Amino acid sequence: MNIFNRLTPRYITLIFSFMTILLLFTQNPIDNTVDSFDDSIFQVSCSCKSCVMGFMDDDWFIYRYDPSITPLLNRKNSVLRRDTYRWWRGLQPSMFRINYTEVVDQMFSLFPDKEHYSDAGPDRCRTCAVVGNSANLLGSHYGSLIDFHDVVIRINKGPTKGYERDVGSKTTHRILYPESAMDLDNSTHLVLFPFKIRDMQWLISTFTTRHITRTYTRVKPSIKADENKVMVLHPAFIKYVYEKWLLKHGRYPSTGFITIIFAMHICDQVNVFGFGASSTGTWHHYFDRTRTHYKGGPHGGDFENKTIHQLQQRNKISIYKGYR
Ligand code: C5P
């Protein structure tokens, strides 16, 4: 008779249990802990005191932040996936039929066709100030603190003249689109946020024929800016912000929110100014009385604010709230 036939089920269970325990204890405990992590997450990501990428040990952040995404468009990275193209074309639908590939080609025969900001590394410390347009900047005296950053990103029409004490005077990058365009000086990068393909056409027109005077509203046919400093946000980046950072809240992300995520991809340290209501609860610009908080608009305002708050809580950005 075979020996196994003689063993009762009780003995078989006992033998298996013993073998399992033996296996567990003979394995090197270190194999189960430290070595199973990817070493690269513990590498120093920049030389600032605190870095956006930090130790990449925060699951909430790791789930959202994609270090491989390219924020800015160039000819080489311009091909869009079919779903991205469809989503982007639906943001601000227009009646104009425009060929994306031709427009990209025209853009990058005029403007720098480069791979921007691919220089991240342990020796870099690029500090960035993102300056929103909230009235909470008034009376803040943040001007010199803002100007102290390597990169100062301003948004839309936010002026500096007359507000230097509170908002500073340096602008290295200005985020705009046709409906919010203004003249820039020669030291400022124009960063187009294209919410529609017509915006790209407008950009070309403003430096050449100046024939585009309308999108969904009247727009400036030309602006002053250095064409060698023009950059264009990648349409896929807008979708990335919407899906990964906003989990599809709202219809598409606001300019200010995209700008913060953009800064987190091109900078090592991000400080945010001029976002949110003033202490009296009002949502105005620092430079006019336009109300800026619209419930029911295309953007998921509350979710954006919660996400910005999370980023601060997790030490990925710092928010300067102003004094008023
Ligand atoms: O009003 P505008 O879109 O030009 O402002 C740029 C950005 O500044 C907004 O997208 C928003 O994120 C931020 N902002 C704010 N609070 C305000 C005004 C603007 O957070 N009261």
Which pLDDT tens digit goes with each residue over 224-268? 999 999 999 999 999 999 999 999 999 999 999 999 999 999 999
Phi, psi of 144 (to 5 degrees): -70, -30
Rounded to 5°, the CA angle 226-159-224 comes to: 20
Structure confidence at residue 44 as a pLDDT band (50, 70, 90): low
**CB of residue 154 inside a 6 A radius of ligand 1:** no
**CA–CA dist 72, 152 (Å, integer):** 17
Identify the active-site residue in 252, 284, 286, 320.
Answer: 252
pLDDT of residue 13: 45
pLDDT beyond 70 at 38: no
Q: Note whether 232 and 107 are within 8 A (CB).
A: yes
Per-residue pLDDT band at 186 (split at 50, 70, 90): very high
Ligand 1 atom closest to Cα of residue 260: 12
286 is in an annotated binding site: no
* SS3 of the chain: helix, strand, coil, percent, to 5: 40, 10, 50
CA-nearest of 115, 100, 121 to 46 is 121
At residue 279, the pLDDT reads 81
299 CB less than 6 Å from ligand 1?
no
User: Is 299 known to be catalytic?
Assistant: yes
Assign 25 a pLDDT band (cuts: 50, 70, 90): very low
| pLDDT tier, 202 (very low <50, low <70, confident <90, very high otherwise) | very high
Cα gap 211→204, rounded to integer Å: 10
Ligand 1 atom at minimal distance to the Cα of residue 156: 4
CA of 17 to the centre of ligand 1 (A): 63
Q: Is the CB of 156 under 6 A from ligand 1?
A: yes
Length, in residues, of the chain:
324
256 labelled ligand-binding: yes
Region 197-220 average pLDDT: 97
Contact indicator for 239, 84 with CB cutoff of 8 Å? yes
The answer to whether residues 321 and 276 touch, using CB atoms and an 8 Å cutoff, is yes
Residue with CA nearest ligand 1 atom 1: 292
Burial category of 241 from C-beta neighbours within 10 Å (exposed 0-12, middle 13-18, buried 19 and up)? buried
- Percent of the chain, pLDDT > 90? 75
Residue 198 DSSP symbol? H
| pTM given for the model | 0.87
Residue whose CA is at the smallest distance from ligand 1 atom 5: 133
Number of H helices, E strands in the chain: 12, 7
Q: Whose CA is nearest to atom 17 of ligand 1?
A: 134
CA nearest neighbour of 254 among 200, 303, 316: 303
163 catalytic per annotation: no
- Any ligand 1 atom below 6 A from CB of 322: no
Q: Is 285 annotated as a binding residue?
A: yes
